[in-house]
Amino acid sequence: MTQPAGRASGTLSIGEVLTLLKREFSDITISKIRFLEAEGLVTPERTESGYRRFTGRDIDQLRAVLTMQRDQYLPLRVIREQLVDNADPGPVAIAGTGLHADDFRAGAGRVRLTRTELAEQAGLAESMVAELEAQGLVWCTPTGHYDEEALAVAGIAARLSAFGVEPRHLRAFRVVADRDSGLVERIAAPRGSPRDPDARARAQETIRELASLFIQLHASLLRAQLVRAGKG
């Protein structure tokens, strides 16, 4: 049987790429791949009939982009700069803050811990985890487990406790996060449409970009306040 020309040359169709990447990125869709192409983050070959054919390098680039989005919560602007610089997709500093975007990565449910396991991994007493939960700083997923975000918060709380900071002192951070997430969702909402997968992809990218900017703003304001107080 004669192989299709694209297959013989070692390239894959967009549907085959979707099947391949779906194993690692459960939320990937054909629309998302097309969106990343439109944003210039991957440039597949085109057949004479206009069909996309992806090389191994294209797939590696897609995998790098999707990994940075999933694990480091980076906006496409930062990812694009990193790819242009041909840098290793490791932690990227957020300009002017001294922070890294992977400090704010989304867990997406990849970690499933009991309260005892969360306490052990974060280096906290279970009673402290219970207090964090009472303050609305960590919570269980619908499956009754704690995820990566809870582990990140608990780990930071453990480090802050060495300075005498208690969970009740951190409640204000939850209030600010609630307010900011609501603002991000309101700004991004007009850019998404339930009937347009490409629009949903653009809305998700807007959310990433806004989250990155809000992080920069918070860090810059804190630093400015400390400098003004003569403590920075």
User: For the CA atoms of 19, 25, 28, 34, what is the dihedral angle to 10 degrees?
Assistant: -80
Check pLDDT > 80 for residue 86.
Answer: no
Q: Tell me, what's the pLDDT at 194?
A: 60
More confident: 137 or 232: 137
Q: Which pLDDT tens digit goes with each residue over 108-167?
A: 446 788 999 999 999 999 999 999 999 999 999 888 899 888 988 999 999 999 999 999
Predicted model pTM: 0.53
- Please name each of the domains of the chain with its CATH number: 5-89 (1.10.1660.10), 115-228 (no CATH)
The whole-number average pLDDT for the span 197-216 is: 79
In whole angstroms, give the CA distance from residue 137 to residue 154: 8
Judged against a pLDDT cut of 60, whether residue 87 lies above it is answered with no
| pLDDT tens string 160-203 | 999 999 999 999 999 998 888 888 888 887 766 666 667 777 77
Residue 97, pLDDT > 50, answer: no
The residue-averaged pLDDT of 64-88 equals 75
Mean pLDDT of all residues in the chain? 80
